[in-house]
Amino acid sequence: MLTPDSQKSRRRGSRESRRHTPKANTKGLYQRAFKQAFVKLDPRVMLKNPVMFVVWVGTIVTALLTIDPTLFGPVPGENQRVFNGLVTLILFFTLVLQTSPKR
């Protein structure tokens, strides 16, 4: 006597006989995504998203402050270049990850 499970498997066919969909071509996917992320860092593209444009401007300002911490006046404290450099890196990675192509 056939059980309901065996009837279902009989209708669908054996596992080996079923067709599988081909996998997507992912060759060069990460290289294209990385390149597109940097292309989208263009200020004209950034103006379309005001929040990310402000992050972009902040990245430029902190990068300038990393080069010369006294650019806008005297700064108390030590290691200002290290702090500004870390903030610049965080803002830069925020931009790159935000502008990377979405699925």
What pLDDT, in 10s, does the model give residues 16-30? Answer: 666 767 677 777 878
The Cα 17–Cα 61 span in angstroms is: 62
**15 or 76, higher pLDDT:** 76
Report yes or no on 40 lying in a domain.
yes
How many separate domains does the chain show? 1
Q: pLDDT tens, 42-79? A: 888 888 888 889 999 999 999 999 999 888 888 888 88
Q: Is residue 32 part of a domain?
A: yes
- CA 88-91-92 angle, to 5 degrees, is 80
Domain range for residue 81?
A: 27-99
> How many angstroms separate the Cα of 42 from the Cα of each of 46, 58, 75?
6, 15, 31
